[in-house]
Amino acid sequence: MRDLKPFYDEVVKKQAAVEKIATDMAELMSDESDEGKALVLEMKPELVAAQDELKEAEDTYERMTQANAPSDVLKNFVPVSNTEGEPGPDQQPSTIKRVDFDKLSPADRAEFIHSGGKVED
């Protein structure tokens, strides 16, 4: 399994950069001066660039996370078998002899027939 911490750390670093620029812009705007508004407009390209870098870092992290995940196809693969296995301890055989069927209680007979069991003579 790959170490994704450097990718995550990069996302956190880029997020902090965006937050710092946005905070600086908000402080300048709160002055309500023309000079502050002009500085905010000058900082806009810096904010856009920082946001683009953040999106790129997030995309890289997400792709690395997906690449690091196990494949569901292999996990869910069950090989097909044409042979019937022995019935397990909780399973009834699908076909029984009439003699064995007659030995069952009426409730067990009904359960066997309802579960798809067959009786052979």
Unique residue bearing structure tokens 């990718």: 7
The pLDDT value recorded for residue 72 is: 64
Cα(97)–Cα(99) distance, integer angstroms: 5
- For the chain, where are the E strands, in sequence order? 95-97, 118-120
Across the chain, what does the average pLDDT equal?
Answer: 85
Mean pLDDT of 42-65: 95
Could you tell me the residue ranges of all domains in the chain?
Answer: 5-70, 93-121
The pLDDT value recorded for residue 93 is: 65
Beta bridge partners of 96: 119
- Write out the two tokens for 109: 């007979």
Cα(37)–Cα(29) distance, integer angstroms: 6
Beta bridge partners of 6: none
